[in-house]
Structures are given as C-alpha cells and as structure tokens.
Structure 1
Amino acid sequence: MDRFDMLAAFVAVADRRGFSAAARDLSMSPPAVTRAVAGLERHLGVTLFHRSTRAVALTDEGAAFLERARAILADLREAEQVVMGGRSVPRGQLYVTAPVMFGRLHVLPVIGALVDAHDGLTARMMLLDRNVRIVEEGIDVAVRIGELADSALRTTRIGSVEQAIVASPAYLAGRGVPRRPADLSDHRCIAGSGVRTGTAWPFGGQGQAPVEIAPRLTVNTVDATLAAAEAGLGIASLLSYQCAEAIAAGRLVRILADHAPPLLPVSLLYDAGRAAMPAVRAFIDAMRERTRHGAW
C-alpha cells in the first residue's frame, strides 16, 4: 500500500474514531485499514492511536500529524482534479461547508444541480453553525454569513441577509407589539444560536449600543428557535432566510423592522490555490447565479 493510501486510512480512522467505520467510508476491509495505519506507524516510528476494545483515540503524535496529513491529501486531490478535469470540466470531489439551514435551503440545490450536470463530479457537504478551519479540514469552499476576519484566504461576496425580530400572531395578540427595541425588556425573548447568540441584540446603525435581553428560553439550534417562536413562547431574533417561509405562511410576524441593523454579507471563502479548480469555479458561478435570482 502506498503512502497516500496510508495517510487516507489514518485520517479516516481519526475522523470516524474507529477502524470499522473508516473501512466503510473507504470501501476497504477493516483488516486492510488496520494494516495501513500500522504500516504508517512503522514508517514514522511513532504510535498514532491509543487502541482499546471500545475506543480509538489519537496520541499526542497522532494529533500533531493529523493536520499535516489532511493538507497533504487536500493538495493531492487538488492536483488530481486539475489534471483529470483539465481547466474546464468539474470532476473529482467538491467539499463545501455552510451554516445548517442556509446550506439546506440554498447550497444543497446548487450542489445537486452541479452533480447532475457533471458525471465525474461528487460532492461532500459539512453543515455546521460554526466556523471550521477550511485549509486544515481540506474544504474547498466555505459559505460564511457575517463580517469576515482578515486572512490570507480569498473571498467572494455573493449577497447579503437581513436580521429580523419575529413573534407569532398569538403571542403579539396576548402580549402586545413592541414599538422600540427598549420595549423588549417587557417581553419574553428566545435566545438562540447563530449571529445573535447571547443576550445582546444589535439594532439600528453602526455604533448604536445593542439591547440587552433577558431570555425566558435559550435553545441551541435555529430549528428550535423557529419552533419556539411559532408556538408563541416569545420573541426571537433570526436571519431573513431562516424565517421567510414562516412569515409568508403567517406563522410569524416581523416586528421592529425600522430598527434593523445593517445587512450581513454572505461570502464564499476559499484558498487561492483552489480558485482554478473547475469544480470550485463552477460552484462559485452557480451561487452567484442563485443570488441574481433573488433566492434569499
């Protein structure tokens, strides 16, 4: 087994925390994965995993080696895609990460269309409501919402989203409609994950102090925040694409719209070395096109 196969086995075992699960991902037998990792350990002269009958965990040496192994495999995959696909046809695997709901609503349709259009292309999506290190994880493109920190990565802005304060018609009928942000102190508020994590909700233009809310309920997913607001449990702060369907259906009502803060950019983040990959270029173009059609 060559060195790259050994690296792939090592990374898969680290990701899946087990040899059997890694073998399924790699379409290999568990003994073959075990031999690959053992061969890599012999070559390096270190133990990469603590093994027991119930768990597999990285050693300190294994943890230190993991990011380097990911980067090597990502470079190899990029080189293969350029050679196999030339500079025009998307081929190989496209690896994208995005926020959970945005990814489901607006990235998955783009990925699906690209895979349908190109027989040689496969895709992998990581949907998380937190940022991951895309170079170390071998990710081709990350969809990010909000202002980006300075970095050496390349960015392409493809649109923006609005922050929205919402509540159910039943809640507003029973508790009244707040007319200004300060009125939220007299209301039940739902704190959730994402842009407005915590108890400081921004309003108005830049420089305006955020409003501190005292949440009666705190949840850790957008779906739970939506469900709680629709159930009349309080007022929630969400992004426009997250609550658009509920507002259109009448399950939620937007309030305090005149006090909304500035729009949040939606950007694509990727390493400059991946910009020439046909699959990456095709994905960026398709996301721009979706923006032009007013998808969010």
Structure 2
Amino acid sequence: MDRLHLMTVFVAVGEAGSFAGAARRLGMSPPAVTRAIASLEARLGVKLLQRTTRYVRVTDAGQRYLDDARRIVAEVDEADEAVAGINAAPRGQLTVTAPVLFGKLYVMPGIVAYLQRYPQVAVSALFLDRVVNMLEEGVDVAVRIGPLPDSSLRAIKVGEVRRVLCAAPDYLAAHGVPAQPADLQAHTTIAATSVSPTVEWKFGPAGDTEAVRLQPRLLVTSNDSAIEAAKAGLGITRLLSYQVAGQLESGALQIVLPAYESAPLPIHIVHRESKYGSAKVRSFIDLMVARLRADKHLG
C-alpha cells in the first residue's frame, strides 16, 4: 500500500483511539483500517498499537511515529493546497485552542463567522485552561495569554489584558475600599484557581512586586463562578480584565487598587511553523487577527 495512505490511517487511529472511529473518519471499512495498520507495522517491523477488545493504545514507539506522521501528513496537505494556488478556497479540518472563557467570549464568534464564510472547512475547538502541545494534539492555531517561551512556533500579537481586582459596589459600600494591597487581608476574597492557583497575589511591576498572602473565603475552579460570586456581593476577586469587561461596563463590578496592577499580559495567536502556507490556517488567522485587534477590551 502507499506509505502516505498508511500514515494517514495510522494518524486517524491514533487520534480516534479506535479502529471504528478511524474508519468513520476516513470513510473506510474497519477491516480495511485493520489491514492498513498491519501492513504499516510489517513494513516498519515495529508494534505501533496495543489493542484489546476494549481499547486501542499507542505504544511508546508508536507515539514517536504518530508525532512524525501527523506532521508529514499535514505538510503534504498544505503542499497540495499551496500548489492549487494561494487564492484557493480554504477546505479541510482546522483545530483551534484557547483558554475557556476567552474562547467562549472572543474566539467562538470568530469561528462562527469563519465557518459561515468558508463552507468547506470544519473546525474542532479545544477550549482549555492549560497550555496545549500543538504538535502532539494536532492543533493548527492557538490563542495564548501571557509571555511565550522560545519555540519554533510563529506568533502574532493581537492585544493585551491586565490582572484586575474587582468587587460589587454594594460590597465596597458595606466594607470599604482597600487603599493598598495589605488591606485585602481584612476583606473577604474569592480566588479562581485557574487564574490564581495559590493564595498569594502579587502586585506591581516586575522587579518591584509586593506579595500578599490571603485566605480566601471562597475557592472556585472556574472564572465564571468567581465573577458570579463577586457580582452577588460576596467579596473581592482577581481576574483578567477581558473576563469582567462586560460587568465593569455595566457597573455590576468595579476595579479596586488600579494603581497596584502588574504589567499587562500579551495575547498572541500562535501557529506551527510551515514550509507552505495552508489556506485554511492563513484565512482563519487573518480573520481572528482583525477581530481581536479591533476589540476595545483587548487594547
């Protein structure tokens, strides 16, 4: 069988975690998928998959091969698109990742607009509050908030956000407004662990920070929950400015200690280095860059 075809089948099995799932994805019969994997393992002389009646798992050698095969198949797809012309209509599968709340508020509207504009593209959106390994998880485009590590990935800055303290006006009227970070120890605080994994909040610019250790009355695992608790007047919380932009505009929340904010955090659109330009990736990035740079809450 054609080696590229075998790689494509193996990638589908590895990503789906089953022969049946890969068969549905590729429009093949399960026996044909099984024969392709057997042929590939025979060609390589290596066992790529551990399979039982209950699961299919990639072996250590198979995981290394899966990473390389995924990259090769993606580059061939991109080469096909490039040779068809730079103005070829975007098509195929696009995988995008972003933090949960940012994805909901800012990325999902862009995805909807993109899908409406390009009917031959399908999108998988991974909204997770962790850094996704783009190569290992087959992600084409990521939105990252915060400093970027050195890597081979390409990055386009589209805005920035700040860490802000905020509370409901009723709470501040009843308990007073803190004048300095140390005053927070006398207040009820709400901590979202996805933003503040410890109970130590730092204030001020890099190199001149002030740390305040707190005992929050409420610890939550989602930013939405922290926002709702703060709106209800429970106490003071610390979130990213985009997460509470609507509540600040409506007056449901107001910022506390703005003079002690730390340096803004950059927002980047990140994509994998590629020899060719994929039409689906290029067009999605162009759309998202324009939308995010135009948003007043991300400036």
Identify whether the pair has TM-score above 0.5, normalized to the shorter chain. Answer: yes
**Offset at residue 174 of structure 1 (A):** 4.6
Give the match's secondary structure for 1:134: coil
* 8 A Cα contact 2:75 2:274, kept in partner: no
Distance, in Å, in 1 between the alignment partners of 2:245 and 2:13 is 40
Alignment of 1:141-152 (within 5 A): 141-152=141-152
- Tell me the equivalent position of 2:246: 245
State yes or no: 1:92 paired with 2:91.
yes
- Tell me the equivalent position of 2:267: 266
State yes or no: 1:221 paired with 2:247.
no
Q: Which amino acid aligns with 2:142?
A: A
Q: How many residues align?
A: 295
- Runs of 5+ in structure 2 lacking a partner? none
Alignment of 1:1-296 (within 5 A): 2-84=2-84, 86-93=85-92, 94-207=94-207, 208-273=209-274, 276-296=277-297
**Offset at residue 260 of structure 1 (A):** 1.5
- TM-align CA RMSD: 2.6
Q: TM-score if structure 2 supplies the norm length?
A: 0.85
Q: 1:200 to 1:70 in 2, by over 3 A?
A: farther
Distance, in Å, in 2 between the alignment partners of 1:77 and 1:295 is 37
Distance, in Å, in 1 between the alignment partners of 2:254 and 2:78 is 46
Distance, in Å, in 2 between the alignment partners of 1:250 and 1:56 is 53
* 8 A Cα contact 1:89 1:279, kept in partner: no
Q: TM-score if structure 1 supplies the norm length?
A: 0.86
- Runs of 5+ in structure 1 lacking a partner? none
Moved more, 234-243 or 204-213: 204-213
Q: 1:201 to 1:27 in 2, by over 3 A?
A: farther
**Offset at residue 232 of structure 1 (A):** 4.1
Deviations 1:53-93 (A, max 9, x none): 22222222222322112212221222122223x11234133
Q: Which amino acid aligns with 2:134?
A: I
Moved more, 186-195 or 66-75: 186-195
**Offset at residue 203 of structure 1 (A):** 1.7
Distance, in Å, in 2 between the alignment partners of 1:90 and 1:239 is 37
Q: 1:63 to 1:168 in 2, by over 3 A?
A: same
